[in-house]
């Protein structure tokens, strides 16, 4: 099966590396010392120093033992009390889609932006129009990203009328933080071809005004993806490549040495292959999972356990439902307090039909393709479990490492079934911070909210799990992921599900060795052991030795990929950052902007302030990332989706 093929190759490689090191005892290229070393190796969880030779770990242990490998050419890095860990492994994110977030007006609420009311959203968009006239003119639209109705003072989505007040003569289109919804002004609706006569699209909803016909501007799922594709248009090859580069840079700045593109189109993978082939291609490894409902032949052709220039296709992605905070996750019971335009018995809806789900998972098992499945609501997870059970019974279940992505509203009996089927849960504890209050008060109620991302249930059953950021739903902020997993504190400061809090070391394993196992890469990544890749991250403090309530204050100081520094915070001066201007005559690719934006998380101001100072040379390069969302766009354009009918009050 999948794991068997990989283990043979990697174990041989690892054994050969260790044997060479033991026999030759060559001097180290680099030695790290002067701070705690957290190995994620249960047999020796802490060390004093680490040595690297030819991009792999040559020794881990006491300072005295490791320094014995020092030679005249050895670089000795004094950590000065900082903490060395394995580089973080991205369990689920969308590295190619982060470019869209970066190039749009930042509508995120606090603490990541200032989009806390509809009026503030309007102000941000007006500022963006004033500061980016070339961008608006070139693309004929104003794009915003990251508004969140659950955090707006109105607790409601803006409407087309709110966006018409920003600009009535050009399209204005703002994407929800979840990525599953958006709001279009009247001009954007017209450009997208959405009118009062438009029928509902399979797998999504066009929200209507009081007359039941006129679109109010809010688009859910399929119509959103269709509209976004029409509004953004296409990017040229250079622009698409630079979008991915920008996403990789941002992920690296948070300590990730392995990134994921968790729902890729064929075009996205080809775009990443083009970037990877360049001399200065991918700074970190990227594992891509193309959408299983788009091009299965491509998945079979490209799936590999071996990286080529830092990129590989790891398997396939299936999406069963939508966003819990956006009320599009498919539940087995009505939502707790849905918006007034929704029926009291509204349970969300599926994004794929049962036939599609059964067929996709059966195909993956038959062809030994690892499958990652997005499932948030209980009904979606019931469907996933039924389809997986059928496929496992038919094709066997030996070390497939099928992955459940999100599982926000899992029931405890479903966790039992997940264990029985050997499904690996990749959970999303960041929801407790960003939307914990919203889930408690609006989506599922207090009891169910306490059990979102149920890490406690998983650990009680002796299971491993990974945690993820799902960027661009949120920034790929590793310390926010860690903090949420340990403390489960919401924006308001409340604890959402104390029974599911875990200790810092366990939470770190869920970001290192366990997601490495998820990706079939536990023999080369995820822990600091001799023979493994020197994928490292340096943190400003030891998460296991400080007050857990201060974990979110830890900063990534350096990210190291196979002994090469790919991010160094000391090279980013906040003063020069705030004064930065584009270099005349040079195309800003978005990559440089994102490197700077990554640091702006430490500065209490709206990131759009940086974006306002980033202008592209007229007539060249990209701004918005249509290709970055192409995976979402084309994934929804497949037949057989369940219609979301009878969800609105007549």
The pLDDT tens digits for 179-228 are: 889 999 999 999 999 999 999 998 889 999 999 999 999 999 889 989 98
pLDDT in tens, 279-299: 999 999 999 999 999 999 999
pLDDT at 138: 65
Is pLDDT of 585 > 70? Answer: no
pTM: 0.80
pLDDT at 339: 81
Section 320-327 average pLDDT: 92
Is pLDDT of 583 > 50? Answer: no
Contact status, residue 147 vs residue 179, Cβ threshold 8 Å: no
Contact status, residue 289 vs residue 263, Cβ threshold 8 Å: yes
Residue 570, class by beta-carbon neighbours within 10 Å (0-12 exposed, 13-18 middle, 19+ buried)?
A: exposed
pLDDT at 268: 87
* Sign of the CA dihedral with 61 first, then 525, 256, and 468 last: negative
In the structure, what pLDDT confidence band is assigned to residue 596 with cuts at 50, 70 and 90?
very low
Section 411-431 average pLDDT: 98
Section 362-380 average pLDDT: 99
Is pLDDT of 565 > 60? Answer: yes
Is pLDDT of 129 > 90? Answer: yes
Query: Who wins on pLDDT, 240 or 276?
Result: 276
CA distances from 617 to 356, 386, 612 (A): 45, 53, 14
DSSP state of 550: G
115: which 2 tokens? Answer: 């989009």
Q: Which helix (H) or strand (E) holds 289?
A: strand 285-290
In the structure, what pLDDT confidence band is assigned to residue 451 with cuts at 50, 70 and 90?
very high
Nearest to 167 by CA among 209, 208, 121, 103: 121
Q: Beta strands 142-147 and 105-106: pairing type?
A: parallel
pLDDT at 575: 34
Contact status, residue 450 vs residue 497, Cβ threshold 8 Å: yes
Q: How far apart are CA 303 and CA 288, in angstroms?
A: 9
pLDDT in tens, 256-275: 999 999 999 898 899 899 99
pLDDT at 617: 21
Q: How far apart are CA 488 and CA 136, in angstroms?
A: 40
Residue 637 burial (CB count, 10 A): 16
Q: Does domain 104-232 have CATH number 3.40.50.920?
A: no
Is pLDDT of 624 > 50? Answer: no
Query: Who wins on pLDDT, 147 or 132?
Result: 147
Percent of the chain with pLDDT over 90: 71
Q: How far apart are CA 80 and CA 34, in angstroms?
A: 5
The region of weakest confidence among 310-319, 343-352, 397-406, 624-633 is 624-633
Residue 140 burial (CB count, 10 A): 12
pLDDT at 327: 92
Is pLDDT of 17 > 70? Answer: no
Is pLDDT of 491 > 80? Answer: yes
Q: How far apart are CA 127 and CA 106, in angstroms?
A: 11
Estimate to the nearest angstrom the gap between the alpha carbon of 609 and the chain centroid.
Answer: 24
Extract long-range pairs of 297-305: CB within 8 Å, 24+ residues apart.
298/266, 298/269, 299/369, 300/367, 300/369, 302/269, 303/369, 303/370, 305/5, 305/6, 305/9, 305/10, 305/520
pLDDT at 460: 98
pLDDT at 602: 33
> What does residue 539 show for φ and ψ, rounded to 5 degrees?
-110, 155
């Amino acid at each position: 099966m999948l794991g068997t093929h990989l283990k043979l190759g990697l174990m041989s490689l690892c054994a050969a590396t260790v044997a060479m090191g033991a026999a030759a005892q060559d001097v180290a290229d680099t030695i790290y010392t002067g701070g705690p070393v957290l190995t994620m190796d249960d047999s020796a969880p802490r060390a004093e120093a680490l040595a690297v030779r030819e991009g792999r770990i040559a020794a881990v242990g006491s300072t005295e033992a490791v320094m014995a490998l020092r030679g005249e050419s050895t670089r000795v890095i004094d950590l000065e009390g900082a903490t060395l860990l394995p580089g973080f492994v991205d369990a689920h994110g969308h590295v190619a889609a982060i470019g869209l977030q970066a190039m749009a007006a930042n509508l995120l609420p606090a603490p990541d932006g200032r989009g806390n009311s509809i009026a503030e959203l309007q102000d941000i968009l007006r500022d963006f129009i004033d500061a980016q006239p070339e961008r608006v003119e070139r693309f004929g639209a104003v794009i915003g990203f990251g508004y969140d109705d659950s955090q707006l003072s109105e607790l409601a989505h803006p409407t087309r009328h709110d966006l018409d007040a920003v600009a009535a003569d050009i399209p204005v289109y703002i994407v929800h933080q979840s990525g599953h919804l958006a709001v279009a002004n009247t001009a954007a609706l017209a450009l997208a071809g959405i009118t009062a006569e438009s029928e509902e699209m399979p797998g999504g909803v066009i929200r209507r005004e009081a007359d039941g016909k006129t679109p109010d501007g809010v688009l859910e799922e399929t119509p959103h993806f269709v509209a976004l594709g029409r509004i953004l248009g296409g990017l040229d090859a250079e622009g698409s490549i630079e979008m991915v580069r920008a996403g990789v840079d941002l992920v690296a700045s948070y300590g990730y040495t392995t990134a994921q593109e968790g729902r890729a189109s064929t075009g996205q993978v080809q775009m990443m292959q083009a970037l990877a082939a360049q001399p200065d291609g991918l700074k970190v490894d990227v594992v891509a999972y193309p959408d299983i409902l788009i091009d299965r032949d491509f998945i079979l052709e490209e799936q590999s356990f071996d990286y080529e220039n830092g990129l590989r296709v790891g398997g396939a992605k299936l999406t069963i439902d939508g966003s819990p905070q956006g009320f599009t996750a498919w539940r087995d019971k009505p939502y707790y307090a849905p918006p007034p335009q929704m029926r009291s018995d509204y349970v969300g809806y599926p994004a794929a039909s049962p036939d599609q789900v059964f067929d996709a998972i059966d195909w993956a098992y038959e062809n030994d393709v690892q499958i990652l499945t997005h499932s948030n609501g209980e009904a979606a997870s019931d469907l996933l479990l039924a389809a997986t059970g059928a496929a496992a019974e038919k094709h066997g279940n030996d070390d497939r490492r099928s992955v459940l992505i999100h599982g926000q509203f899992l029931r405890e009996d479903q966790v039992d079934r997940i264990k029985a089927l050997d499904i690996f849960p990749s959970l999303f504890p960041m929801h407790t911070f960003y939307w914990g209050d919203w889930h408690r008060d609006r989506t599922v109620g207090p009891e169910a909210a306490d059990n979102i991302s149920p890490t406690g249930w998983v650990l009680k059953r002796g299971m491993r799990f990974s945690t993820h950021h799902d960027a661009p739903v949120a920034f790929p902020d590793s310390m926010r992921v860690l903090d949420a997993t340990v403390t489960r504190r919401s924006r308001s400061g409340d604890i959402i599900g104390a029974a599911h809090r875990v200790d810092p070391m366990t939470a770190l394993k869920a970001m290192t060795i366990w997601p490495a196992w998820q990706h079939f890469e536990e023999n080369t990544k995820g822990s600091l052991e001799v023979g493994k890749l020197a994928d490292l991250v340096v943190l400003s403090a030891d998460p296991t030795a400080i007050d857990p309530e201060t974990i979110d204050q830890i900063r990534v100081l350096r990210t190291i990929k196979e002994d090469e520094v790919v991010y160094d915070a000391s090279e980013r001066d906040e003063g020069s950052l705030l004064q930065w201007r584009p270099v005349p005559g040079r195309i800003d690719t978005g990559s440089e902007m994102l490197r700077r934006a990554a640091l702006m998380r430490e500065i209490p101001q709206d990131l759009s302030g940086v974006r306002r100072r980033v202008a592209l040379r007229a007539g060249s390069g990209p701004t918005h990332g249509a290709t970055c969302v192409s995976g979402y766009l084309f994934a929804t354009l497949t037949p057989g989706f369940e219609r979301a009918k009878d969800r609105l009050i007549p």
